[in-house]
Amino acid sequence: MANRTDPAAKSIRGTNPQNLVEKIVRSKIYQNTYWKEQCFGLTAETLVDKAMELDHLGGTFGGNRKPTPFMCLVMKMLQIQPEKDIVVEFIKNDDYKYVRVLGAFYLRLTGTDIDIYRYLEPLYNDYRKLRQKSGDGRFILTHVDEVIDELLTKDYSCDIALPRIKKRWNLETVGALEPRKSVLEDDFEEEEEKEENDQLDDGLEDGAYERDYHHGRSPTRERDRDRRRDSYRYRDRDYDRDYDRDRGRGRERDRDRDRDRDRERDRDRNRYRLRDDREYGRERDRDREREGRDRERRDRDRGRRRSRSRSRSRSRDRKRHARSSMSPRRDRDEPEDVGTRAEPKKKKEKKEKKDDGTDHPDPEIAEANRIRASLGLKPLKL
């Protein structure tokens, strides 16, 4: 009886709001002491007090999957269904960061797509530290904007499956949302101009880049590219994220084709394609050639693999859509090839053995090895 949803509550996404949390986790919450003692008979006002006492967020932890108080409060909010104004107040309040994250989480579960983007994106500018309880019971350091990023991009957080929301780009094309404007946009434009000037001046990076390209040593090029990508990425997380979002928006060229894909990888790919874009004219020809070579290589790969529908279609799509696509998932194949080949010897090397066993004559074993390789395990010992 204490676990019933408020009868006046609306159904969310077609179901009892408490069903947003899956059955097993829900049962764990109901059996939890915190829920039974502290969350009994909470109203919206008293819930605020409880939320202010929070000092960590997280999902379930420990061997028997004990839920955190954060999850219990999320469940309580689903049960009583506070008004949207109250939730927005939670999010807007600046003093208590856990209250903010609680409100953001609840909104992500129950709000409309437009509301979610509108209210959660300003929280990207909140850099405060948070304490997160991991699955094995230890605490991890994270930040408010990291959590918001997870909410907006991943589909699972704190042991609750987040409902699907439309991609931001879709909402923009419909006109329901403005294109994303970062608070740091002016700073980025300055930085970017400064960088362009620097790069043109000292052609050190570019020199190495061109030299490798002309010698056809694509491994080095990829490594260079990765290094450049990583150095940019970790310099300042927000810088990159916002920077890319804005720069990407300004460019017609490949933007459209990639926005459709619902993956975090989009951002990574965008990020370093945009790096390339800066060296505009040179890049275009280079990329076309590179893409031609990739296509060649991929076609050859495609012939060899058997049941690869997933990665095959992905590679085909990527080839069709992206200009210079070396996706992270393909890296699995790259390291093997990278060490051994130069352009002309490619064909011969390919036919020889791959050391993750995916070319085993028995299709079952080859398939099993493929799954193992994708999980990062060593191949089967036969």
Give whole-number Cα distances, 332 to 38, 177, 209, 336, 370, in Å: 49, 38, 23, 8, 10
Q: What is the dihedral of CA 25, 28, 34, 40, to 10 degrees?
A: 90
Nearer to another protein, 227 or 378 (CB): 378
Q: How far is the CB of 278 from another protein (least distance, A)?
A: 39
Nearer to another protein, 135 or 179 (CB): 135
Q: Tell me the site size for another protein, rule CB under 8 A.
A: 18
Q: How far is the CB of 132 from another protein (least distance, A)?
A: 15
Is 371 a binding residue for another protein by CB under 8 A? The answer is yes
> What tokens were used for 25?
């986790």
* Residues in 62-91 at the binding interface with another protein, rule: CB under 8 A: 63-65
- Count Cβ neighbours within 10 Å for each residue of 68-85 and write b for 16 or more, e otherwise: bbbbbbbbbbbbbbbeee
- Count Cβ neighbours within 10 Å for each residue of 341-370 and write b for 16 or more, e otherwise: beeeebeeebeeebebbbbbeeeeebebbb
> What tokens were used for 380?
């089967």
Which of 138, 214, 235, 381 touches another protein (CB under 8 A)? 381
Which of 194, 215, 306, 378 touches another protein (CB under 8 A)? 378
Nearer to another protein, 52 or 365 (CB): 365
Q: Per-residue string for binding with another protein, 105-144, x by CB under 8 A?
A: ------------------------------x---------
Q: Per-residue string for binding with another protein, 309-348, x by CB under 8 A?
A: ----------------------------------------
Neighbours of 31 (CB within 10 A): 12
**Burial bucket for residue 47 (CB in 10 Å: 0-12, 13-18, 19+):** buried
Is 380 a binding residue for another protein by CB under 8 A? The answer is yes
- Count Cβ neighbours within 10 Å for each residue of 234-264 and write b for 16 or more, e otherwise: eeeebbbbbbbbbbbbeeeebbeebbebeee
Q: Per-residue string for binding with another protein, 27-66, x by CB under 8 A?
A: ------------------------------------xxx-
Which of 52, 86, 184, 365 touches another protein (CB under 8 A)? 365
- Alpha-carbon 209 to chain mean position: 29
Q: Per-residue string for binding with another protein, 260-279, x by CB under 8 A?
A: --------------------
Which of 2, 11, 24, 193 touches another protein (CB under 8 A)? 24
Q: How far is the CB of 225 from another protein (least distance, A)?
A: 30
| Pair 268, 330: CB distance under 8 Å | no
Q: How far is the CB of 282 from another protein (least distance, A)?
A: 42
Q: How far is the CB of 380 from another protein (least distance, A)?
A: 5
| Pair 154, 172: CB distance under 8 Å | no
Residue type, 333: D
Q: How far apart are CA 1 and CA 209, in angstroms?
A: 68
Q: How far is the CB of 22 from another protein (least distance, A)?
A: 9
Q: How far is the CB of 75 from another protein (least distance, A)?
A: 18
Q: How far is the CB of 155 from another protein (least distance, A)?
A: 11
Is 156 a binding residue for another protein by CB under 8 A? The answer is yes
**Burial bucket for residue 86 (CB in 10 Å: 0-12, 13-18, 19+):** middle
Nearer to another protein, 270 or 358 (CB): 358
Which of 1, 8, 141, 382 touches another protein (CB under 8 A)? 382
Stretch that binds another protein, among 2-10, 121-129, 230-238, 369-377 (CB under 8 A): 369-377
Q: How far apart are CA 106 and CA 124, in angstroms?
A: 17
Q: How far apart are CA 10 and CA 7, in angstroms?
A: 8
Could you give the maximum distance between any two Cα atoms of the chain, in Å? 74
Dihedral (CA of 124, 129, 133, 137) sign: positive
Q: How far is the CB of 139 from another protein (least distance, A)?
A: 18
Q: How far is the CB of 101 from another protein (least distance, A)?
A: 22
Q: Describe the strand order of the beta sheet including 139-143 as a list of residue ranges.
A: 57-58, 129-133, 139-143
Which residues contact another protein by CB under 8 A?
24, 63-65, 135, 156, 364-365, 368, 371-372, 374-375, 377-378, 380-382
